[in-house]
Structures are given as structure tokens and as C-alpha cells.
């Protein structure tokens, strides 16, 4: 069967034995199950640690690179384009613009949610254009969300904040 | 379109590389065979088509996506005996979904450098081990501190990108749904297809919403499967066949992990990889010089997105080409004639079977019912991966 | 250069889990092997049609020359190639009774199996000792390697 023959169809056959979910549940084939319990403690690193501490105080922090002039959020210890350490921290506003959004009907395991969730990429005021973070929108109807909508962060109460991205409960549209 | 200078890149190579055989297993949601057995079945087909035996193979490249799906650390070592890796140099490559085209690129390095004259490329995926649904494994791709506390699903990132793409170019969902209709219909002629069916645009727009604007029929399913390719040096190709298919250009590029800092409407990572591949292949006007294309289509809008990244359409023009029928099998630029991932299935790394292997079969005129109507000389295949990061591109031609 | 955080209380970390659930099918060859063991008390190996190498546990292909294999029955008896005595469990807690794990060459094949040794004291185990398998009662078998309870000396 050499390459170049125009009268042969490829692939010539499709091998493999399909199974359905019932075949497994009814034990038609032998199998082994495993359910690992793997735990992690991820270090946030220098930059994100300071960012999370800032969130606890109700502030959104960004970083600045003097070479390319970008103000970046989420913050990092080095500018990935110039490949040099960043030059300083900047406090940003807690308002922003919706860059893109989606209305999700599924949870992380692809199961249906009781109420749809609106997720968006929000560029933060005070940072370079299109510097966004991902977060949830609320206090707005899904059909009223549009790209370019101005939003403001709604924070948890001071005692409830723990230094996590969820210290911002959600973002809501700015009136007017 | 002018050729832009890619500074610093030199394309020295010792010898050209030809593809002389390919094979793939069926793609289905759940297969009984273990990963090793799937690899063996795909390689058996490829060796048969090439007309060589496993003893002729000098080195092996294996591509397989995250170990989390199979539930096996060091997956490549586990798959070694079924992949022909016993007693010969064997390596694994992995760039997420981009592995489907990155594995043949790695096979290209082996032969072009002169280190091997015959290299076997095998890609395999067994997503069904992740129970009850592989989606559960996908949630660990997100950043643990900034993203996971919000309970994201991987579909979110596609939905956000699709919305941005539709907004910037003012594209309607109906035009994007045409891609799903085309690919699922194309796949009816593919023996290994998992979800080939005749559907309409209304079926897509009325299907279950997952993360709007993405609906169920916009998405490709998870699958099990394997695919293999044989890459050889010119003097070996001459002994085996009169018409080998040559690899004329390869390119790969990754963008930053900070995907929220990028404007998602244009896949820059694909454009950079394509620049590199076209430069190697001396292609200056891809729209005119490429005869058949297989861009990666895990979602229907992704085919359009990648077509623009590959330079096959101007920004915002890809949906117009689809609407006018240019991308059908009998059109001027047939795109995803195999049925792509939307029609045949999405076993992450093993998508090589519908990307690189399909372009090879089209250029060798061996695609049977899927063969495109026009004369073909040059084809391009492309894969994408991770959090909107990886672009891998390969250009092939049946003329040297 | 900007200053770094050095106070450990200000350095943050994030705890989490990776929770997954896997179902591993035995594959074509594995399915045949486990079903034969479960239902008929018999052991299967696979012989390469070209080079004659006998694989245990069986596979549908020969890894050396990639030709097909055919199933052959073997007794399941073998001899101990190497062994080790475990006195701690996987979490480094002491076991009530020591467990003996051995690498057992299976007669009539080129392959070997790792399994437990039973009905023998650790001091009496030797390399080269002949052993035979002891299976679970038929109604308790599940189609897994644990259908073999242990290997005992002949």
C-alpha cells in the first residue's frame, strides 16, 4: 500500500471497541476505580501575597514597569515582555469596564446551575488599557449586560474579608 | 501580504522530511481498550500504509495530554510498549491541545536534524478514565488563587472569547453555527467519527445553553482515540513511494498565561506560529497559496478565529467565507474536510488524526469520500491549547 | 529594586485539593484475562505469533516486533524471583502482621507478577521457592488482580 495511489481510501478501517456508561455500571467489562485525595498548599508568591493583602484592606493593587510603561493587574514580580523586575506598586480604582462576558448555566463539573452566573473580564481603571481580571457580575439582568459597561466592585464587610479574590463579592453596574 | 522578518530565526536543516503513512483508531466517548492497546492499533495501521515494520522505526515521539485524564503519572512511560518505544529513543511532548500538531513537529526535528531517518509519531488519549466526566479534570487548569475560588468551568474562557470575537467584528451566532453544521456533515464520510450528523443552524441555536453564547452543539465532545504518523528522510521515502507528502514548514508559539490582559478577539499565538511556518515554506499569500486547511475547531467559532490567525481570511472575514460556501469541500478553500473535532471527536492529543493525518491524506489523494474537489498542492494544519495560549502550525506539500 | 515582603505572616498561601475519580478499564487483553480468572479459575498468557515470546499478563501485541499475539493457558504456578517484607503501611504506621511481597516468575511465560505471599513465615521465604496461587471464593471475585488472594508455597 504505497502512498500516492489515488484509489485507496484512508483510514481504511476504524478499530476500537466502544463502551457505554451502562456497560461500566452493569459490570460488562472489568475495571478498577480510584479516588485520590491529593492536597495542596500553593504559595501565592511575593506579588500575589501583596495583592491579596491589599484586597483584605479593600484596595486593588497593580504594578508598574518603567520600560514599557504598562501598569499591570494581576500584579507580578517581573514584566514578562521586558523580562526585568517591576519598578513599583500602584493603587488602582475599584471601578472598571466590561471587556467581555458570558452567562453560564453550568458549574465546574458541567452540571446545571440552579441560577445562571454572569462571568466577565473587567479591565480595571488606573491600569493600562485592556488589563483585566476575571470576576462575577451581579445586581444586573443578563440581557442588560453589554461590552463597554462601567462597573464597580461590591466588597465584603471589613471583618469578613480574608485576603482572597472573593473579598470582592461581585461587580455591579455604575448608575448613570 | 509582505513577508515579515522573523529576526534571529535560522532554518538550517540537514534533510527534508516526508510523511509516508498514517493511521488512527475510531474516536468514541468511551473505548474499552487501554491506552497502550489504542496506540498499538493506530501504529499498526500507519506501518501498513507506509509498507515498513516496527524494526525500521529508529525513534519515537509520543504526544499525550494531561496525565489527569488517564489517572496515571508518567503517562508516556506507561504507554511505551504499545507505542513502539521498546529499545529505541523515545520522548514525550505535551502542550495541551496543541500536541495534536506539536507531536509531528517534534517528529520533524528528529528527521530534519539528521538524528533519525525514520521517526514514528504517536498520539493517544483516553479521557474516559476520568469519571463521570472529563470536565472534572479541566477545572484544575485554572489558577488556584485568582480563578478557582470563583468556581469556573473551562467553557467560560471559550464563551468569553467568543463574545469578544462576535462583538469586535459584529458577527451573528447564525454565521458561526454554519461551521458546526458543515463539520458535522463532513464527518459523515469519516469512518472514525463520533458525532457525525446532519443538523441545521436552528438546531445549534436551540441547543442547551452552557455558558452563553456557547451552546451544546457549538462544542466538540471528549473522546478516546489514538493516531500515528510515519516521518522519513528523502532517501527512504524514495524507496517506499513515488509521491510522498513533504513537510515544508513548521511553527509554534505561546502567549502569556495572563489571558485576562489580552484582547481575545484575535489569536496572536496562531499568527506568530503561522508566520514562522509560512516563512519556512516560502508562502507569502496564504489565502491564495494554501489549497486545503485544517484549523483546530474544538468550538465552531474557533475555526473562524483560527482561520483569521492563519491569514486565510482577513480579520472578521472568515464568517463571510463560510456563509458563501468557500470553506465547503467543493469550495475554493476547503476547511476541515475531515469533519474536524466538531464532527469526528476531540481526544485532545490524538486530534492529530483529523489534523495532520487528514492533510497528509488529502495531499496524497487518499481521503476517499472526503477528498476535496480541487487539485491540491499545499495544505496547512493547526492546533491550539491551554488557556488560549498555544499555537502550533504545520505546512505540507506534495511537491518539493 | 522594590522591597520584598519578609514578614512570614504577610506571605500568603492557598490551600486546596485535587479531587478526581478514575475508572480504569482493563482493555481487550486485560478483560479476557480477568474474566477467565473470575469465571473459570484459569490463567491466560499471550504468545507472539512471530517471535514466540510469551507475555504475562497478556497483551494483544508483541512489544518487540508489533505482531499479534494469541492467548495460551498457563497453570499460574511460578517461583519466587525476589521478595521483600513490609512491616509499615503506606502511611508509615506499623502493620499488625508483616506482609510479604514477591516478584514471581510464572511458569511457561517470559513474564512475572508482583503479589503477596501467604501461608508462610517471612523467615522461611527463599528466592527460587515454588509457589502456586490461591484464589478468592468464586462469589467474592470482582474481576481484578485481588481475585488472587496470595501465592503459597507448593
Q: What was the pLDDT predicted at B243? A: 84
ipTM: 0.88
Question: Which of the four pLDDT bands, split at 50, 70 and 90, describes residue B135?
Answer: confident
Looking at residue B6, its pLDDT comes to 56
What phi and psi values does residue B98 have, to the nearest 5 degrees?
-70, -10
CATH number at residue C130: 2.40.50.140
Total of domains in chain A: 1
Mean pLDDT of C55-68: 90
| Best mutation target, C22, C28, C57, to test chain B (most B CBs within 10 A) | C22
Task: Return the partners of chain B (3 or more C-beta pairs < 8 Å).
Answer: A, C
Segment B242-249 shows an average pLDDT of: 92
Are C22 and B140 within 8 A, CB to CB? no
Contacts of A19 in chain C (CB under 8 A): 25
Q: Cell 514597569 maps to which residue?
A: A65
Top residue of C7, C8, C14 to mutate, by most chain A CBs within 10 Å, is C14
Query: Per the domain annotation, does B345 fall within a domain?
Result: no
Whether the pLDDT of residue A7 is over 80: the answer is no
Q: What is the pLDDT of residue A6?
A: 58
Q: What is the model's pLDDT at position B8?
A: 62
Place B124 in a pLDDT band, splitting at 50, 70 and 90.
very high
Candidates C4, C13, C21: best to mutate against A (most CBs of A within 10 A) is C13
Residue that is written with C-alpha cell 438546531 in the block: B203
- Residues of B near C (Cβ–Cβ under 8 Å) read 31-34, 36-37, 40, 43-44, 47, 53-55, 68, 70-71, 81-82, 84, 86-87, 128-132, 136-137, 140, 144-145, 148
Over residues B173-202, the pLDDT tens digits come to 999 999 999 999 999 999 999 999 999 999
Q: Average pLDDT of C48-74?
A: 91
Print the domain residue range for A132: 45-173
In A, minimum Cα distance to B71 occurs at: A34
Task: Answer yes or no: is A118 within a domain.
Answer: yes
d(CA B288, CA B285): 6
Bridge partners (DSSP) listed for residue A72: A63
pLDDT in tens, A17-53: 898 888 888 888 888 888 888 889 999 888 999 999 9
Contacts of A29 in chain C (CB under 8 A): 25-26, 31
Q: Can you read off the three cell numbers belonging to residue C55?
A: 507475555
Asked if A125 and A174 count as a contact pair (C-beta separation under 8 A), the reply is no
Q: Which among B32, B50, B261 is the nearest to A17, CB-wise?
A: B32
Is the pLDDT score of B2 beyond 60? no
C-alpha C145/C-alpha C136 separation (Å) is 11
Cβ neighbours of B156 in A, within 8 Å: 102, 104, 119, 134
A129 interfacial to chain C (CB closer than 8 Å): no
Q: Which of C60, C64, C66 sits opposite B37 (nearest CB)?
A: C60
Residues of B in contact with A76 (CB under 8 A): 258
Radius of gyration of chain C (CA): 22
Does residue B1 form part of some domain? no
Place of cell 470575537: B165
Examine residue C34 and state whether it is found in any structural domain, yes or no.
yes
**In this structure, are residues B102 and B389 in contact, taking their beta carbons and an 8 Å threshold?**
no
Task: Please report which residue ranges of A26-175 form alpha helices under DSSP H.
Answer: 45-56
Give me the pLDDT at residue B313, please: 93
Measured at the CA of A14, the angle between CA A8 and CA A17, to 5 degrees, comes to 165
User: Looking at residues C9-26, what average pLDDT do you find?
Assistant: 86
8 A C-beta contact, residue A119 and residue B156:
yes
Chain C residues in contact with A62 (beta carbon < 8 A): none
Question: Is residue A30 within 8 angstroms of chain B, CB to CB?
Answer: no
At B72 the pLDDT is 85
- SS3 at position B118: strand
- Number of structural domains chain C divides into: 1
Those residues with Cβ within 8 angstroms of residue B193's Cβ, 6 or more apart along the chain or in another chain = B27, B187, B339, B343, B344, B345
Q: What does the DSSP 8-state code read for residue B359?
A: H
Q: What is the pLDDT of residue A80?
A: 87
The verdict on A1 touching B (C-beta cutoff 8 Å) is yes
Least Cα distance to B221 among B100, B342, B383 occurs for B342
The whole-number average pLDDT for the span B268-291 is 93
Is B376 a domain residue?
A: no
B232: domain CATH number is 3.40.47.10
- Find the length of chain C: 154
User: Is residue C139 less than 8 Å (CB to CB) from chain A?
Assistant: no
According to the model, what pLDDT value does residue B1 have? Answer: 37
Of residues B33, B47, B70, nearest to C28 (C-beta)? B33
* Residue in C18, C27, C63 closest to B34 by CB: C27
Sheet containing strand A71-72, strands side by side? A71-72, A60-64, A88-92
The whole-angstrom separation of Cα A155 and Cα A33 is 43
Model pLDDT, residue C106:
92
C68/A contact by beta carbon, under 8 A: no
More confident residue, A9 or C77: C77
Secondary structure letter of residue B222 according to DSSP: B
Mean pLDDT of the C117-146 span: 90
Helix axes B154-169, B173-186, angle to 10 degrees: 120
The reported pTM is 0.91
**Partner-chain residue, chosen from A20, A106, A142, that has the shortest CB–CB distance to B210:** A106
CA dist C139 and B359 (Å) reads: 53
Size of interface B-C (CB pairs under 8 A): 73
Does residue B179 or residue C12 have the better pLDDT?
B179
Closest by CA to A99, choosing from A168, A172, A150, A148, is A148
pLDDT > 90 fraction of chain A, expressed in percent and rounded: 58
**How many Å is the maximal CA-CA distance in chain A?**
75
Q: Give the pLDDT band of residue A2 (cuts 50, 70, 90).
A: very low
Phi/psi at B14 (5° precision): -85, -40
Under 8 Å CB-to-CB from B103, ≥6 apart: which residues? B61, B62, B63, B93, B121, B122, B123, B349, B352
- Angstrom distance (rounded) from CA B32 to CA B46: 21
Helix (H, G, I), strand (E, B) or coil at B209: strand
Q: B226 is in which domain, residue-wise?
A: 18-132+222-240
Q: How far apart are CA C149 and CA C117, in angstroms?
A: 9
Domain boundaries, position C129:
27-153
CB distance B245 to A37 below 8 Å = no
* Residue B168 three-state SS: helix
Task: Report how far apart, in Å, the C-alpha atoms of A148 and of each of A151, B162, C31 are.
Answer: 9, 16, 57
C-beta atoms of C21 and B37 within 8 A: no
Q: What pLDDT band is residue A63 in, cutting at 50, 70 and 90?
A: very high
Per-residue pLDDT of B330-385, as tens digits, reads 999 999 999 999 999 999 999 999 999 999 999 999 888 999 999 999 999 999 98
Evaluate if residue B322 carries a pLDDT over 90: yes
Whether residues B368 and A9 touch (CB distance < 8 A) is answered with: yes
- In this structure, is residue B159 part of a structural domain? no
According to the model, what pLDDT value does residue A5 have? 54
- Tell me if A38 is assigned to some domain: no
Residue C99 neighbours by CB distance under 10 Å:
17
A71 and chain B in contact, CB less than 8 A: no
Cis link prior to B213 (omega < 30° from 0)? yes
Q: Using pLDDT thresholds of 50, 70 and 90, give the confidence band for residue B7.
A: low
CB B55 within 8 Å of CB B32: no
Mean pLDDT for all residues in chain B: 91
| pLDDT on residue C1 | 59
With respect to residue B36, please indicate whether it lies within any of the assigned structural domains. Answer: yes
Q: What is the pLDDT of residue B255?
A: 87
Kindly state whether A37 is in contact with chain B, defined as any CB-CB distance less than 8 angstroms.
no
Verify whether the Cβ–Cβ distance C5 to A49 is below 8 Å: yes
For residues B92-115, average pLDDT: 93
Beta carbons of B82 and C31 less than 8 Å apart: no
Distance, in Å, from the CA atom of B93 to the CA atom of A117, rounded to the nearest integer, reads: 37
For residue A69, is it within any domain? yes
Nearest CA in chain B to A45: B145
Percent of chain C with pLDDT over 70: 99
- Taking CB atoms and an 8 Å cut-off, how many pairs form between chains A and C? 89
Q: Is the pLDDT of residue A3 over 60?
A: no
- The CA radius of gyration of chain A, in Å to the nearest whole number, is 24
Per mean pLDDT, which range of A2-16, A146-160, C109-123 is the poorest? A2-16
The fraction of chain A above a pLDDT of 70, given in percent, is 95
- Report the number of distinct structural domains present in chain B: 1
| Distance of residue B53 Cα from the nearest chain A Cα, in angstroms | 13
Domain assignment present for residue A27? The answer is no
Q: Give the pLDDT confidence of A86-134 residue by residue, as tens digits.
A: 999 999 999 999 999 999 999 888 888 999 999 999 999 999 988 889 9
- The reply to whether residue C15 touches residue A41, judged by beta carbons under 8 angstroms, is yes
Amino acid at each position: 500500500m504505497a502512498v500516492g495511489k489515488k484509489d485507496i481510501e484512508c483510514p481504511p478501517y476504524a478499530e476500537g471497541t466502544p463502551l457505554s456508561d451502562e456497560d461500566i455500571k452493569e459490570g460488562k467489562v472489568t475495571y478498577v476505580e480510584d479516588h485520590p485525595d491529593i492536597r495542596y498548599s500553593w504559595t501565592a508568591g511575593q506579588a500575589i501575597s501583596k495583592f491579596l493583602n491589599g484586597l483584605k484592606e479593600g484596595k486593588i493593587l497593580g504594578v508598574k514597569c518603567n520600560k514599557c510603561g504598562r501598569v499591570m493587574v494581576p500584579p507580578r514580580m517581573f514584566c514578562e515582555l521586558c523580562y526585568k523586575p517591576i519598578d513599583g506598586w500602584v493603587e488602582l480604582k475599584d471601578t472598571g469596564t466590561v471587556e467581555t462576558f458570558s452567562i453560564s448555566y453550568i458549574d465546574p463539573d458541567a452540571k446545571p446551575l440552579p441560577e445562571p452566573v454572569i462571568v466577565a473580564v473587567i479591565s480595571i481603571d488606573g491600569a493600562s488599557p485592556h488589563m483585566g481580571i476575571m470576576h462575577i457580575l451581579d445586581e444586573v439582568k443578563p440581557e442588560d449586560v453589554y461590552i463597554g459597561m462601567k462597573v464597580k466592585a461590591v466588597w465584603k464587610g471589613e471583618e469578613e474579608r480574608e485576603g482572597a479574590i472573593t473579598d470582592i463579592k461581585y461587580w455591579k453596574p455604575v448608575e448613570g | 501580504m509582505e513577508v515579515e522578518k522573523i529576526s534571529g530565526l535560522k532554518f538550517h536543516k540537514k534533510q527534508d522530511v516526508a510523511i509516508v503513512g498514517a493511521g488512527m483508531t475510531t474516536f468514541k466517548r468511551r473505548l474499552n481498550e487501554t491506552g497502550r492497546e489504542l496506540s498499538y492499533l493506530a501504529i499498526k495501521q500507519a506501518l501498513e500504509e507506509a509498507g515498513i515494520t516496527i524494526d525500521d522505526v529508529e525513534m519515537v515521539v509520543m504526544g499525550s495530554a494531561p496525565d489527569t485524564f488517564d489517572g496515571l503519572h508518567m503517562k508516556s512511560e506507561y504507554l511505551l510498549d504499545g507505542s513502539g518505544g521498546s529499545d529505541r529513543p523515545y520522548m514525550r511532548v505535551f502542550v495541551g491541545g496543541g500536541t495534536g500538531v506539536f507531536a509531528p513537529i517534534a517528529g520533524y526535528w528528529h528527521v530534519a536534524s539528521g538524528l533519525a531517518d525514520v521517526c514514528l509519531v504517536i498520539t493517544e488519549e483516553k479521557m474516559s478514565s476520568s469519571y463521570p466526566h472529563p470536565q472534572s479534570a479541566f477545572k484544575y487548569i485554572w489558577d488556584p488563587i485568582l480563578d478557582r475560588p470563583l468556581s469556573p468551568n473551562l467553557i467560560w474562557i471559550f464563551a468569553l472569547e467568543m463574545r469578544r470575537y462576535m462583538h469586535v467584528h459584529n458577527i451573528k451566532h447564525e454565521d458561526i453555527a454554519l461551521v458546526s453544521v458543515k463539520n458535522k456533515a463532513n464527518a459523515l464520510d469519516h469512518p472514525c467519527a463520533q458525532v457525525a450528523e446532519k443538523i441545521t443552524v436552528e438546531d445549534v441555536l436551540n441547543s442547551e445553553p452552557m455558558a452563553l453564547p456557547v451552546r451544546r452543539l457549538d462544542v466538540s465532545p471528549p473522546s478516546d482515540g489514538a493516531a500515528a504518523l510515519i516521518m522519513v528522510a528523502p532517501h527512504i521515502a524514495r524507496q517506499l513511494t513515488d509521491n510522498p507528502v513533504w513537510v515544508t514548514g513548521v511553527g509554534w508559539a505561546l502567549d502569556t498565561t495572563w489571558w485576562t490582559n489580552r484582547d481575545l478577539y484575535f489569536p496572536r499565538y496562531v499568527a506568530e506560529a503561522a508566520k514562522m511556518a509560512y516563512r519556512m515554506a516560502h508562502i507569502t499569500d496564504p489565502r491564495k497559496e494554501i489549497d486545503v486547511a485544517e484549523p483546530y475547531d474544538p468550538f465552531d467559532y474557533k475555526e473562524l478565529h483560527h482561520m483569521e490567525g492563519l491569514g486565510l481570511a482577513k480579520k472578521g472575514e472568515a464568517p463571510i467565507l463560510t456563509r458563501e460556501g468557500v470553506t465547503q469541500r467543493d469550495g475554493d478553500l476547503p476547511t476541515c474536510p475531515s469533519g474536524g473535532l466538531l464532527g469526528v471527536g476531540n481526544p485532545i492529543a490524538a486530534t492529530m488524526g483529523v489534523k495532520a493525518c487528514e492533510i497528509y491524506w488529502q495531499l496524497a489523494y487518499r481521503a476517499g469520500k472526503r477528498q476535496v474537489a480541487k487539485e491540491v498542492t499545499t495544505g496547512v494544519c493547526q492546533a491550539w491549547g491551554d488557556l488560549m495560549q498555544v499555537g502550533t502550525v504545520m505546512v505540507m506539500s506534495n511537491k518539493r | 529594586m522594590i522591597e520584598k515582603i519578609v514578614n512570614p505572616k504577610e506571605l500568603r498561601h492557598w490551600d486546596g485539593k485535587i479531587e478526581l475519580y478514575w475508572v480504569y478499564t482493563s482493555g481487550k487483553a486485560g478483560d479476557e484475562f480477568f474474566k477467565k480468572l473470575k469465571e473459570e479459575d484459569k490463567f491466560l498468557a499471550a504468545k507472539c505469533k512471530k517471535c514466540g515470546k510469551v507475555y504475562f499478563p497478556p497483551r494483544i501485541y508483541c512489544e518487540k516486533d508489533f505482531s499479534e499475539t494469541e492467548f495460551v493457558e498457563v497453570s499460574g504456578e511460578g517461583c519466587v524471583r525476589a521478595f521483600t517484607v513490609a512491616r509499615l503501611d503506606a502511611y508509615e504506621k506499623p502493620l499488625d502482621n508483616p506482609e510479604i511481597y514477591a516478584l514471581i516468575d510464572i511458569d511457561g511465560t517470559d513474564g512475572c507478577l508482583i503479589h503477596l505471599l501467604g501461608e508462610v513465615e517471612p523467615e522461611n521465604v527463599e528466592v527460587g521457592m515454588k509457589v502456586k496461587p490461591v484464589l478468592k471464593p468464586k462469589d467474592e471475585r470482582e474481576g481484578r488482580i485481588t481475585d488472587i488472594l496470595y501465592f503459597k508455597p507448593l
